[in-house]
Structure 1
């Protein structure tokens, strides 16, 4: 037996997984083993689940320590004891108070104090003992015992197997201590005797005190914890009464079906009754009611939500308002969500705005959290390739530049490749040579660290709501987010029967909500953003989908998605649902995206698909697009049961792909498909497609939910573009940089203005031109076209758009402006707001004081004169309460190009047309005529060449022709060919403001790499596929900016 075993859940201390640990103790002949990780109970579930396969009796415990000092080892006699130990550790971790030197009364535990510790009580309770390590036996034999001999047991800590494990432990401790491994003290490390000993070695170690082993074995035999795997531990009822829950669910479903359908058809009512019977039969009623109540609360607070995932397959969920996807309209497969063979509750994914999610989470704790029955779900932050090399480089003492070079490898694609029993970096590097002993040590130990958990993190949205206190299963800790969080992950939680609620956040809902509110503020119009049926019929939206005019719109704005929609000629809801899933790597990487497009455009090609697959998936022409398709294929094609088909579907997520059940289902798939007479080659190809889905395919209901949100975004952009784009820019979560949403706002008629201390808020705002300011706003720089008589709206950037300008200063400035009115000039601003000199300079340089009518150079002089001496870190405000005499200054010249460089530095992008910043070269020819024959609007050049230079809109008339194109790069996607070679896709804006795409195959991608944002000149051939044009690049260069005039002599 072994007492006080550590797994790698003793973070940055232990080195073995519970499974590897069990193999070791089984090989050593041990029957009883206590897993006692340091201040952590994360490993118990996995340890207990696998123990039966290794013929080991598992004991649950915790090694309770203050830092590295062991206070006592707690063992759970039973489930109540595990609850008590987890509760003690939770009190410590949540309150931040030190663990007591002596544990409180924990009657269902054994508490073992380390022999020789100063804090051992003189009188021990019945369940308190003293543990003697192997190296302490002789010392105990010859010492006077301070307690009855029956209180002494064998404490056999086990952390590593051999020298390599101990060295790994040493490196982990150095990483934890953030120090060189040579500076570690013995107190920082596990003692050398924390080695796994076999039963024979234990007998020899305790040969002079065998009674310690006998007592320890008897002690461990008394410990019996039953985690009752796979039995639900979730909250059983919502109202407190199961019958009342059932009645309420039926009532809500009947109300909802009439709200959604008016006079529902018999088909709808049959489906509703079928779902209700299944939900009741599986005892999932409370799960639905908890989600319903949460959504109801959100609506009361004015929060937007999206119910997505496979939950969108449920008609009951649709009727309860949890989702907004009509499963009847899309023929969604309810069995993907719940089927008779599924024992675990279904998985609702509910998205809220990133601004609202914490309030929703807080609501769950307020309503259900009494007695620690609610907790966030943890994840494990594991050591991965680049981070391992960085950490090992530090503990071995490498200088930062060598660590950076060693960890970067090939900068375009950092990755590791296998070299026998070690890992090496691929690609070019300026790192130390391979012969360097430190590099060799890093190569030797990096694989040992890979995958080890380094610390706990927080699951992206998982929340547990338990019938009993969660400390019956895990201790809780308190991360910076401020909510109690488990010490185990989703996998362990599901194993023991705790199934999460997914409370997720996204920025798309934030920009929709902000846009709706902004429209109402500016126009008085109240938009029913949930009227998606009307949006689906909107001709403007149909045209936007067909043409890919979807920048800023949720999930449909990426270059790849816009390209796919144009190729599919999407103009309706079902087409968008399909596109939302086809774009996922699971479909595209399997080659089935192209096959889908071929069959979509060519009815004759559909006949090449196996008839059985066409029968199963007629809407997608026999191509697997959704996760449900895997269930359908498994069930109808291979004859699997629904339970087996669902295991097959779940295995794609990677959660269970390494477990025995996946191998069994694979065998059943082949056996069943061949028994049905399908050709082996066809079965193998189909299986390859299934496996390629991996974790990268969507449930159809998930795609449908995303499509609903896409339509909401599309409606706002179609009919209220400026309010919509301000919402997108202010939520900072779109696919592109803020600059390109401002570009879209320009195209929609706005004039983009730099931040202004009198007009800007924290974030972007819309406003009309104030008559007194018109001359100043438009005349300071000739960057915008002349303001028309109707005065287009101004879009002011927010003060928080200024890089490095403190948010707290912004809030002070706005508060002062709200209280006492606009600022009159620079001295007035400095008197009223405690700005440091550099902060004031930032405001001047970004143009935030242009309302004064003074040039930037003059304002900077004024600031210098007003400052007169104090350190630049000091606030200026009190320095001047009297008017400063105007000095006589020489003429101060100002170049508009300096504005652009200030903006590049302080905003991250210029507000002027970026093409005006390109340096002209004498050996180039002036850009040719525009499409309409007029002279170009940009004073820059193209290379001397006979090739035509074209705009995006001219690409369809130049198919298969070699051309030149200029583009302001907005996005680059790096990817790999099937042979592993690097290639890239580029997206650009041309001089007319339109988007276009390029493809750089491996040879070109290597010869002509992208070199950051800027203007590029590309030469290549225009290619067309399914109606979408792109440039296949043959050569590319980045054009230089004009010199920065701020640096001139």
Structure 2
């Protein structure tokens, strides 16, 4: 009887989930129910999936509105009707056009016009599929309306938006947030009626007892509706079923491509390779995944044709078919990758292929996929209200002053001591937290469907400009739609750009580079030594302090070691305590036999019986605990947070433990192994995934080894990496580069290298407008370098405040004129009035000005750079108010082992973390006076007493300790050192005297 029900996917309007709606319906003895969210279909698929559990027949529709103003309700008679509704809604969401008062002529849709709208718009003629909706509150007016005579056209339309008063309160807050107004100023027309509730069926029937024909009409309408989506375990994939139009042609093409790929990938094809290939092909055909592999092959083939770099990773990288199709560069034979991780007969979904492109190339590849295939959309996701966001939004809605909102955000308050309004913010914040706020886009998921994607939901058009589904990846997989992950990353941009830079800076060497010669890179002792000594700044996954520490502890000097390290560093292994155990077993090979359970060691000999990869979870569940591969995969997916049912996961967990007991394992062993499995939650990598990362790391390391300066310029031009830009500039200097500030004749918008001279890009000048940058570069490219300030001003339209930025950073140093003198000249040449932006027909005659003798100090230049670039190009130690009391650095740590050291360091990065007891501690990486990196740790007692106050130079006193060959300092006390006073705002003589005294 309920044709108009809302969930919280009626965004910033509804107040509860689709499952709560079904629970509500069950409580009120409702057996048929229409879900009609406002201009949204996000809940539709899960509503259909869950309804049978509550004994309810699900029906889908859409409540079409302009804002909160109702237009009509569309109710799908069947799946074709749902497609019509989604097509119609999507068109309006794309172009932002208003929903018309009158519905189009649908073929498989019932249309219900609200009673109020019919009267307002004076609708008097209705087609067979059109009806007028009457709510309980409309019954009073119905007998006095001309609509009373339309007995066959009247149906019950009792909207359902709330369960109780609390829902209505939450609704009003959502409407105030949506309208960006104080709650007290929220217009009544922006709210729903408080009586939009569900009543028991018998109560609803009693309310309409004087109009039995309305109840009959409603029942007939509901009985004519039926919608179905297959959520069974045996469901067929809904992805594009064939690549060439028939299964036979697809299978022939896949076999042909694999045969062609064998000689490319393997110098010698042996029996084990052929057996692995036959096994995979047989299973891929049985599972119906042939087209999935061919579509991925199509995408990467197009990328190669366009000269785009890519890395294929994910569980699909465990496949020899993917390796032969060049979807991945990971050889599953070399790494003995576990076939059953990516595909087995128990697994309904195909393997994951995450294909990474350069962040610059990804949009072009996304466009290609939309152009190449018919039914394509980006995968949606929901952005929910988070605690901090809710406090900020509700603070505004309740009129709380900004400082009070900021105080609540700190969390350092005593609830009972707060004022009434602050308490309301926190109270109602709990009601909104976790509810959907708006629709967004999945990080990289693209759906390529056999049916039109509007078969499953409407799509909207986010700023990226590609149609995007209104549901997320979990429900997509439930219904049989499996995503293609097309991702963008800066690491590949660095590799590609580094090769381009080598091409112009060292053209004779560029021809010799084969960036895909991974086999050669793996054997290169220089590259492997960089890994062993952790000199990996700028190199993708291996540059972080934690990874640098791990590489040194493991003494990794080969590809397989790097593959393992890439996964060991993940929080799952570290959390279980197995990272330390892995290091111990790696350094002492006899320890594995002594400590590991024989079955665990047999399952995972390469990792000394320690679970490191996702497939290890499957192996342990299958071989150690006796679960079948399907159950093992439920466990693996549960660990990665992709499972649907907590109950299903619990069932598998119980069976894991029960099976172990049947096998006679000790309770302590069962507990230990299960804790290792559980610690993997959301963090473990597939081995093929780690191997893909290691391949890209080797490519980066090759460039850093043989073309370090070109590579570092590419790193900077692609947004850096783990660290701030200044540290990549520092690293380039340490490798022999001469760093120059921006120059109007030498610099581009990005960094540019000439031999060993790197000119910083104008992009670092934070206040320089992009249009000014464009003008300078365009003029220089068209008409050559600038000869003087006068020449520059004759050719480039620029305002004084923008010109002063360039002069202050010394971008006109080629003139040989002091920048103070240039600033005087600029002020005299540029009037205060805005200059007209037009080309000059005749070069102007410039008046000669006599300038006083002006000087610029090195100290002044350093502070100008600090202000304009965010860092200075001299050593920051030169800016200290007091000269360091010693010259200790990273080189001195070894001779101070187990002793105390007094050392100065410029802060690179701090990792704030907590102990198991919730106490704060810090790991900090710093650069010493000689430019070398060292590491410190502040344990909770010290962290409680001392804390880092932003970037700058700190003096530490602490004990040098060593763990597995990695040296660090356990800090006892520390102090931030003061910089000299900025000479531009201080007594120049005093500052200069201090500066000179330190030289």
Between 288-297 and 444-453, report the one with greater CA deviation. 444-453
- Which of 523, 528, 540 is matched with 2:506 structurally? 523
Contact 1:613 1:622 in 2 (8 A): yes
Per the TM alignment, residue 836 of structure 1 is displaced from its structure 2 partner at its CA by: 2.1
Aligned to 2:298: 293
In the alignment, what sits opposite 1:609?
596
Cα deviation, residue 912, structure 1: 1.0
Q: Give the secondary structure class of the aligned counterpart of 1:965.
A: strand
Q: Does 1:865 align with 2:867?
A: no
Equivalent residue for 2:774? 811
Q: 1:985 to 1:878 in 2, by over 3 A?
A: farther
1:188 to 1:693, Cα distance in 2 relative to 1, 3 A: same
Between the aligned partners of 1:874 and 1:911, the Cα distance in structure 2 is: 36
**How many angstroms does 1:161 deviate by?**
1.0
* TM-score between both structures, scaled by the size of structure 1: 0.91
**1:876 Cα shift?**
10
Partner residue in 1 for 2:701: 714
Cα deviation for residue 619 of structure 1 reads 1.0
2:424 to 427, 441, 458: 441
* Equivalent of residue 560 in structure 2, options 567, 574, 587: 574
- 1:648 maps to what in 2? 635
1:849 pairs, out of 812, 815, 818, with: 812
2:619 to 632, 636, 643: 632
1:113–1:120 contact (8 Å) kept in structure 2 = no
1:303: which partner in 2?
A: 308
Gaps of 5+ in 1: 410-424, 769-792, 921-939, 943-947
CA deviation after TM superposition for structure 1 residue 972, in Å: 0.6
2:759 counterpart (788, 796, 809): 796
Correspondent of 1:250 among 239, 255, 263: 255
Question: 2:370 matched to 1:368?
Answer: no
Match among 308, 311, 315 for residue 320 of structure 2: 315
1:78 aligned residue: 78
Matches within 5 A, 1:553-952: 553-606=539-592, 607-656=594-643, 658-768=645-755, 793-870=756-833, 882-920=844-882, 940-942=883-885, 950-952=888-890
Aligned residue for 1:61, secondary structure, equals strand
Contact 2:238–2:481 (CA under 8 A) maintained in structure 1: yes
Q: How does 1:437-586 map to 2 (within 5 A)?
A: 437-524=420-507, 525-526=510-511, 527-586=513-572
**Could you tell me how far apart the structure 2 residues matched to 1:384 and 1:752 are?**
44
Give the equivalent residue in structure 1 for 2:992.
none
Deviation at 1:878, TM superposition (A): 7.5
Paired with 1:836 and 1:239, the residues of 2 have a C-alpha distance of 60
Contact preservation (8 Å) 2:825, 2:849:
no
Deviation of the 1:375 alpha carbon? 0.3
Residues 832-886 of structure 1, C-alpha deviations (whole Å, 9 max, x = no match): 2222221111111122111111112111111211223226x98799799633423
Q: Is the 8 A contact 1:536 1:572 kept in 2?
A: yes
Aligned to 1:934: none
* Alignment partners' CA distance in 2, 1:217 and 1:843: 76
The answer as to 2:7 corresponding to 1:15 is no
Shift of 1:478: 0.5
- TM superposition shift of 1:147: 6.0
Corresponding residue SS for 1:694: coil
Does the C-alpha gap of structure 1 residues 878 and 196 become closer, same or farther in structure 2, counting only changes over 3 Å?
farther
Contact between 1:837 and 1:876, CA under 8 Å: does it hold in 2? no
Task: State whether residues 306 and 350 of structure 1, in contact with CA within 8 Å, keep that contact through their aligned partners in structure 2.
Answer: yes
SS at match of 1:941: coil
Q: Cα gap change, 1:574/1:140 in structure 2, threshold over 3 Å: closer, same or farther?
A: same
| Compared CA separation, residues 657 and 623, structure 1 to 2 (3 A) | farther
Give the deviation of 1:657 after TM superposition.
Answer: 6.3
Say yes or no: does 1:155 pair with 2:157.
Answer: yes
Task: Give the distance between the partners of 1:180 and 1:4, measured in 2 at CA.
Answer: 29
- On the 8 A contact 1:508/1:733 being kept in 2, the answer is no
Task: Give 1:146 deviation, angstroms.
Answer: 7.0
* Matched residue, 1:194: 196
Counterpart secondary structure, 1:555 = helix
Are the counterparts in 1 of residues 415 and 423 from structure 2 also a CA contact under 8 Å? no
Q: Using the alignment, how far apart are the partners of 1:470 and 1:502 within structure 2?
A: 17
Q: CA deviation at 1:241?
A: 1.7
8 Å Cα contact 2:382/2:436 also seen in 1: yes
Deviations along 1:1008-1030, whole A, 9 cap, x unmatched? 11110111111110010000000
Residues 514, 218 of structure 1: alpha-carbon distance in 2 compared, 3 angstrom cutoff:
same
Alignment of 1:983-1002 (within 5 A): 983-1002=921-940
Q: 1:120 to 1:334 in 2, by over 3 A?
A: farther
Alignment match, 1:105: 105
1:105-504 alignment, distance < 5 Å: 105-117=105-117, 118-119=120-121, 121-145=123-147, 148-229=150-231, 230-369=235-374, 373-407=375-409, 409=410, 425=411, 428=412, 434-504=417-487
2:967 equivalent to 1:1012: no
Q: Given that residues 541 and 693 in structure 2 are in contact (C-alpha distance below 8 angstroms), is that contact kept between their aligned partners in structure 1?
A: yes
Q: Shift of the alpha carbon at 1:831?
A: 2.6
**Using the alignment, how far apart are the partners of 1:895 and 1:965 within structure 2?**
29
Change (3 A) 1:260 1:844: same
Alpha-carbon deviation of 1:728? 0.5
Q: Distance in 2 between matches of 1:224 and 1:339?
A: 34
Q: Alpha-carbon deviation of 1:888?
A: 3.1
Residue in 2 that maps onto 1:1041: 979
Aligned residues: 978
Whether the aligned pair in 1 keeps the contact of 2:720 and 2:728 (CA below 8 Å) is: no
Instruction: Decide whether the 8 Å contact of 2:505 with 2:754 is kept in 1.
Output: no
Deviating beyond 6 angstroms after TM superposition, the runs of 4 or more aligned structure 1 residues are 873-880
In the TM superposition, what are the counterparts of 1:30-45 in structure 2 within 5 Å?
A: 30-45=30-45
Query: Pairwise CA RMSD of aligned residues?
Result: 1.7
Q: Deviations over 1:134-154 (max 9, x none)?
A: 101110122222762110111
Distance in 1 of aligned mates of 2:203 and 2:837: 71
Whole-Å Cα distance in 1 between the matches of residues 149 and 497 of structure 2?
A: 70
Going from structure 1 to structure 2, the CA distance change for 1:99 and 1:667 (only over 3 Å counts) comes to same
Q: Which has the higher helix share?
A: 2
**Native 8 Å contact 2:38 2:63 kept in 1:** yes
TM-score, structure 2 length as denominator?
0.96
* CA distance in structure 2 between the aligned counterparts of 1:731 and 1:49, rounded to whole angstroms: 44
SS for the counterpart of 1:328 is: helix
Residue ranges of structure 2 left out of the alignment (5+ in a row): 988-999
Looking at structure 2, the residues matched to 191 and 833 of structure 1 have their Cα atoms a distance apart, in angstroms, of 62
Structure 1 residue 11: deviation in Å?
0.7
Q: Distance in 1 between matches of 2:225 and 2:595?
A: 63
Pick which of 540-549 and 431-440 moved more: 431-440
Shift of 1:67: 1.4
Q: 1:147 to 1:368 in 2, by over 3 A?
A: farther
1:404 & 1:254 partners in 2: Cα distance?
64
Change (3 A) 1:963 1:880: farther
Q: Is the 8 A contact 1:831 1:880 kept in 2?
A: no
Q: Does 1:55 find its partner at 2:18?
A: no
Give SS of 1:263's match. coil
Q: How big is each residue's C-alpha offset from its partner over 1:891-921, in whole Å with a ceiling of 9 and x where there is no partner?
A: 333222221122112111111111111111x
Residue 965 in 1 paired to residue 903 in 2? yes
